[in-house]
């Protein structure tokens, strides 16, 4: 029996890589060219990585588009043995693909996602649904729940939001995010920015920055104008980074959490 059975269970390689087979049909494209078309993808978590990536059997990859890397990077990805450049429509993408040394993953190739690293394949699909930034983690939940809690948000002593009808988003590994109707937010105190981010669980977010001078980082407020169906309840609602503002819930001040976003949520930095 192949070591890559379709049973859903996490395995660990001697290099510390976690992996498990997936039953999803996954395709990856560069522009209009399909580079990967796989019914047997493998989800891979590298040591210290917060999100997974996919690796694919070689026979489900357009290897004719791969070239041995001209300038393979050092120290990226866990013990990578071989890097490849990707040649598509006259464009050469350096180090867009690689292999892992783990015996369990022999015969598999992984790819960069342009939505996450700025290079690699730019369109990914699970079944017929396009996904963004990185694969969805099957061990992670994202729940958007309508609530009647009293949520207040303050910046430098100014109440910028006050609602009894928030939607609370519970996402594994992150603090609760409080999504607030626009009518309950002092949006006149903020200015829209050109910043946007993509999330495989929620969609594409638009951002606003604080107009005041309280040392608040830019893009502290965001909204999903067209969220994915699983979190449709947050459509056009507004949320603040708990890490950068003061939030009170049912009269109880909330501690500012320490998360992966703290390093970038500093005045003068962008997200």
Same domain, 120 and 163: no
In a domain, 147, yes or no: yes
Tell me what the pLDDT averaged over the chain comes to: 90
Same domain, 155 and 122: no
Same domain, 27 and 60: yes
The model's confidence at residue 1, banded by pLDDT at 50, 70 and 90, is: very low
Range from 22-31, 67-76, 165-174, 233-242 carrying the lowest mean pLDDT: 67-76
Structure tokens at 83: 């890097």
The per-residue pLDDT for range 50-61, each reduced to its tens digit, is: 889 999 999 999
Between 243 and 9, residue with greater pLDDT: 243
Same domain, 105 and 184: no
Radius of gyration of the chain (CA): 21
The model's confidence at residue 258, banded by pLDDT at 50, 70 and 90, is: confident
Structure tokens at 235: 């459509």
Task: Say if pTM beats, i.e. exceeds, 0.75.
Answer: yes
Q: Which of the listed residues 109, 131, 153 is the one where a domain comes to its end?
A: 131
Same domain, 21 and 124: yes
Same domain, 241 and 150: yes
Sheet of 151-155: strand order equals 158-163, 151-155, 246-249, 252-253
Same domain, 60 and 166: no
The per-residue pLDDT for range 115-140, each reduced to its tens digit, is: 888 889 999 999 999 998 999 999 99
Structure tokens at 255: 């501690």
Q: Specify the number of domains making up the chain.
A: 2
Q: Which domain holds residue 186?
A: 142-253
Same domain, 82 and 159: no
């Amino acid at each position: 029996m192949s070591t890559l059975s379709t049973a859903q269970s996490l395995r660990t390689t001697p290099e510390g890589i976690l992996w498990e087979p997936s039953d999803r049909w996954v395709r990856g494209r560069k522009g209009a060219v399909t580079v990967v078309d796989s019914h047997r993808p493998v989800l891979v978590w590298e040591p210290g990585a917060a999100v997974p990536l996919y690796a694919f059997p070689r026979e489900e990859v357009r290897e004719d588009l791969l070239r041995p890397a001209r300038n393979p990077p050092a120290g990226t990805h866990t013990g990578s043995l071989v890097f490849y450049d990707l040649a598509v429509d006259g464009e050469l993408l350096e180090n867009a693909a690689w292999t892992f040394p783990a015996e369990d993953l022999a015969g598999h190739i992984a790819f960069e996602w342009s939505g996450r690293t700025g290079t690699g394949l730019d369109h990914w699909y699970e079944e017929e649904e396009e996904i963004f930034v990185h694969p969805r983690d099957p061990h992670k939940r994202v729940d958007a729940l309508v609530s009647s809690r009293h949520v207040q948000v303050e910046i430098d002593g100014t109440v910028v939001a006050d609602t009894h009808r928030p939607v609370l988003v519970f996402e594994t590994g992150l603090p609760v995010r409080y999504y607030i109707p626009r009518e309950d937010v002092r949006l006149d105190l903020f200015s829209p920015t050109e910043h946007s981010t993509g999330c495989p669980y929620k969609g594409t977010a638009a951002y606003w920055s604080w107009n005041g001078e309280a040392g608040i980082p830019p893009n502290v407020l965001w909204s999903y104008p067209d969220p994915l169906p699983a979190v449709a309840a947050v459509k056009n609602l507004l949320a603040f980074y708990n890490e950068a503002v003061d939030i009170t819930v049912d009269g109880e001040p909330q501690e500012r959490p320490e998360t992966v976003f703290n390093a970038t949520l500093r005045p003068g930095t962008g997200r």
